[in-house]
Structure 1
């Protein structure tokens, strides 16, 4: 018995039910059956191979949406030609089926890009001190998001072009692509500029993931690079969202462009009587004892002198920006304590020379003696 004979027999048995209701019931039943088949298949695969193949569970989770949609479309494609529906219902369902199929292709394409990027980035998990890893992570993330955006635009455009009204509007728009094209270009300029900036950043890499940067007098790290913006994690855990075009059009500081090591500066004002060589020896010993020092740079110089004090500048290096800040604070605190306890003569002082005037001396000589002193002189 073929499908047509079976459907004719069912139609004869359920002749009192409207044909459109029977057709829609068949479509809905096919979708529900497809969902049940998917759940049953995934349960069997997980029970059979889940323990031996842990990656299978990850693959099932990431492909669950497209797989369900694909099974539903396959079931609808089998049932829809046999459903007793007239053209007023069948035509919208067929158009919806085409749109869903186009969306499925776009969804599968995005999943393929995401899974490929995730698989590639598994080789670069530690990005804190690994410049090669940061380079690859930045490029892959930017390219992935730009590719996802392009796939979404193409999918939506293709789905909309299946409608006659939208297709005619698009043809007329291309036919009169003068002022309309300029208006659309101006409206989409921020989006396009950020997408192009994203490609430039992925290629030239002025910033990378976990780079330490200073933007608008704010210091932080590059936490995420999206398709149109960058998220900066500031030192106090705030988040600054900056358009991608900012990093192409405006200057900013990147403290970890080539290496994460930084030189920190400690400035201190001391008296002219300070023993600078002794302070320099103490600084070298103190820095060598610190776990934050990277063993590269430690130096002390007299960089300025004014009428009251001399200015000392200590240079110390660390492995990265946070350790450089902590090292500077540690050495500054210990240096102040050393000068206060071991070299108090080096503390800044205010000096003044008091010279009495001639009028003050004459006034002092004419001033009468106190009564007690006059009585003592009289007794003598």
Structure 2
């Protein structure tokens, strides 16, 4: 034994036997780990290995706990402790080591995903970037959930009392299996829906969508719900299964660029050519128009008015909303100033009745 080697066959005091595995061994292991981290930091400092640097930097606390518990587990058999105390300490250290390893691995896996998720996506982000970001976030949460579940399962199965209770609860597999299946169905359904969204991409983070009559942007995708940030700064929380079972309107599925229209209803006397020239002047004078598409056409003839459609393009939904409002305001102002009689009118003809 280590204690016999240190004092020539005589037993160490109890306090010293406790000091070696619980203080000295972890301290030496943590010093060695610190040196290794410092060396790796120096090696990777000037490199382009962003992924390796992120994995090395994240979860260092979990790694320290793991190394310290591993040192305790290795040093315990080398000292003289009462049998009961040694068994209890060894079991506690083993359970703690399982938790620490699961914690460290989960943090490292999450760090690998986070390395690719750095940076914010705006509304003008490329659709491929939003697609990759959505997939990474969904799979990151699935990986973290799987790590937590696996670690908890290993810890529970390592405790004899809990394992016995679990086995006795599931001894009657008939009713227990049915109840467990019914209880797990929503969770499994949400899990499958999350995987479907990550793979098929009906929505992505940053997409402009219309859901339940509400327009907004996809702000968050979790394992159970999707958060839509509406234009008036509210949050619409929708179950994730909604997006795999119902139709939604995604305005930025392949691109943030949009085409939209402004309809004006004028009197039959409206000068269409002058109206078209004014609408073109308006779009050319504003940066809201992306200069892709523009047209002014008479699209319908009503009983008392002419329907004129102004077709425009913009880089994103926010710019399109502002462009539509600008077009309406300035067209009405132009017609009211230059051609007030072209605004919608109701005509009344009065004929004189003559006596027979």
With structure 2 as the length reference, what TM-score do the two structures score?
0.85
CA-CA distance at 1:177 after TM superposition: 2.3
1:245-260 to structure 2, matched below 5 A, reads 245-260=241-256
Alignment pair present for 1:108 and 2:104: yes
CA-CA distance at 1:90 after TM superposition: 2.9
- Compute the RMSD of aligned alpha carbons: 3.3
Give the match's secondary structure for 2:215. Answer: strand
Contact in 1 for aligned 2:126/2:255 (Cα 8 Å): no
Name the residue aligned to 2:339: 343
Find the structure with the greater CA-based Rg: 1
Give the match's secondary structure for 2:296. Answer: strand
Contact in 2 for aligned 1:297/1:315 (Cα 8 Å): yes
Name the residue aligned to 2:225: 229
1:2-21 to structure 2, matched below 5 A, reads 2-6=2-6, 11=11, 14=13, 19=14
Give the match's secondary structure for 2:312. Answer: strand
Q: Measure, in 2, the Cα distance between the counterparts of 1:136 and 1:304.
A: 44
1:27-38 to structure 2, matched below 5 A, reads 27-30=21-24, 33=27, 37=31
Contact in 1 for aligned 2:117/2:133 (Cα 8 Å): yes
1:272-287 to structure 2, matched below 5 A, reads 272-287=268-283
Distance 1:128 1:69, change over 3 A: farther
CA-CA distance at 1:127 after TM superposition: 7.7
Contact in 2 for aligned 1:22/1:83 (Cα 8 Å): no
Which protein, 1 or 2, shows the higher relative CO under an 8 Å CA cutoff with sep ≥ 6? 2
Name the residue aligned to 1:69: 65
Runs of 5+ unmatched residues, structure 2: none
Give the match's secondary structure for 2:263. Answer: strand
CA-CA distance at 1:53 after TM superposition: 6.2
Runs of 5+ unmatched residues, structure 1: 362-380
With structure 1 as the length reference, what TM-score do the two structures score?
0.80
Contact in 1 for aligned 2:265/2:306 (Cα 8 Å): yes
Q: Mean Cα displacement is larger for which, 296-305 or 160-169?
A: 296-305
Name the residue aligned to 1:261: 257
1:122-141 to structure 2, matched below 5 A, reads 128-141=124-137
Name the residue aligned to 2:173: 177
* Matched positions, count: 353
Name the residue aligned to 2:326: 330
